[in-house]
Each structure stands twice: as structure tokens, then as C-alpha cells.
Homo-oligomer: A and B are copies of this chain.
Amino acid sequence: MTKVTAQMSVSLDGCYTGPRDPQAPTDMSRWMQGPEAPGFFRVTRWAVDAMAWRERQGFAGGEQSADSDIVAETFAAAGAYVMGRRMFDAGEVPWGDEPPFHAPVFVVTHRPRAVLERRGTSFTFVTEGPGRAVELARAAAGDKDVAVAGGGELLRQVLTAGLLDQLELHIAPVLLGDGQRLFDGLGLGADDGVELVPARVVESPGVTHVRYTVTGRSKLVLDDRGASGELVGR
């Protein structure tokens, strides 16, 4: 059955990129020179070092490793993608003629645009919001999963809309100190949380992969801290 999945590389302090440049909030062409790039490069290095990632980009080399297996598995599981507009804008040129997705991609944007066909990948621009993009991706995914390609903003929207079934974090062992946090601005109530269940952990020297099944909203409650079991006479 088709699941809606997301996966993201984050630092140990929860950032998926460095901080946004307040001077250039919408210009993605100089993204590589901006403050987001160093943190993004650090947290995603494990993937760039993996053979399966490099193969998808058309690059040789890389390591055959548990990390590479996870990249391969992640690409293989996705029958269609949803993607945020900033990620598309940042990727359109560098991805070139053969973007790494090899599946239909639905880009959530406010700007209508005709379908863009690339070798193996199509980009359809959806102006009716993330829910509609997920719906279209689901119809296109066949028996495979719908994967949230990123960025973080779209992932948060899909999560808080209750549309996400599975989340995998690739936790890079680094503290960035400053950057965009994947889980900032979730807009939950004061005593509300989102519960998940750990489904799989894969250890690797350079990153820890933790996959969660998303349970959903729940109330945070106090407990008696074990005091109901207090030993008499101590």
C-alpha cells in the first residue's frame, strides 16, 4: 500500500541547512555561495560519499556501504515525489538533463507553469497546496510510496497536515549551532505533541539512520514519576 514518506539529513542540533540569508530570501541562483550551503553540505556528506547516490547523479566512485544501501532503498521505494518550490528552484539547473528522481515530481508552488519533462523525471507544478500535490503523487506512484523530496518547509506542512506516514532522519554527528531547524514552527498547542514510533535504526560510522512511523497528535500529560510505587518505611 502506498505510504507517504519523508527522509532528511539533519545535524544533531536538528538543522538541515545553515541559516537563510536574510538579504536574498527568494534568489536561489546564488544559494551555493550563501550561508545555507556549508551546513547543508556537512549534513548530507554521508550521502555524497555513498556509491548509490553518486550513481544517481551520474558520478563514479563512492563507497558501497550501509549508507549506500539506504540511499538505494530510498530511491527504489519512491514511485512519485512531492517537492517544495525553493528546492526545485535550487535544483533545476544543477540537476541538468537527467535529474536523480526518475519518477514524476509534483512541485508545490504559487506560480503556474507547464509540465517540465526531463529524462526519466517530470516536474508538474501544483498551485492548490501540499494536500493536492500528495493526492496527485499518490495517483502517480502505483504500488510504490510517495516521497517528500524536501525541503524542510514542505516536510513540516505535510507532517502537520497529518499526511505523513513515515519519517526517516539521517542524523549527522555534528552541531551546527545555527541553521534552519527541520522542526521549527510546527504550530502545535502548548500541551500537544506529535507521537512517533521508532521502526528501524541503522548505525554507520558517519551518520545514524532512524526511521519512524508517525502516530499523530497527542496530549502531553504529567505522571506521578513512579511515586505510586513508593516503598513504605524508607
Identical chains bound together, number:
2
- How many Å lie between the Cα of A54 and that of B223 in the bound state? 14
Whether the pair B226, A57 counts as a contact (CB closer than 8 A) is: yes
Given contacts A186-B13, A192-B177, contact A231 B38 (CB under 8 A): no
Whether the pair B231, A58 counts as a contact (CB closer than 8 A) is: yes
Whether the pair A183, B175 counts as a contact (CB closer than 8 A) is: yes
Residues in B neighbouring A195, C-beta threshold 8 A: 173-174
Residues of A within 8 A of B (CB): 11-14, 18, 32, 35, 37-39, 41-42, 45, 48, 53-54, 57-62, 98, 169, 171, 173-178, 181-183, 186-198, 201, 203-205, 207-208, 210, 212, 218, 220-223, 225-231, 234
User: Which residue on chain B has the smallest CB distance to residue A212?
Assistant: B173
- How many Å lie between the Cα of A184 and that of B60 in the bound state? 39
Given contacts A12-B183, A59-B229, contact A193 B177 (CB under 8 A): yes
Known: A59-B227, A175-B188, A176-B193. 20 other contacts (CB 8 A): A14-B181, A38-B222, A41-B225, A42-B193, A58-B231, A58-B234, A59-B229, A59-B230, A60-B231, A62-B229, A174-B193, A174-B218, A175-B194, A176-B188, A198-B203, A198-B205, A198-B207, A201-B201, A201-B208, A208-B210
- How many Å lie between the Cα of A174 and that of B192 in the bound state? 10
Whether the pair A187, B183 counts as a contact (CB closer than 8 A) is: no
User: Which residue on chain B has the smallest CB distance to residue A62?
Assistant: B226
- How many Å lie between the Cα of A48 and that of B210 in the bound state? 23
Question: Which of A54, A57, A226, A229 lies at the interface centre, i.e. has the most chain B CB atoms within 10 A of its CB?
Answer: A226
Whether the pair A177, B187 counts as a contact (CB closer than 8 A) is: yes
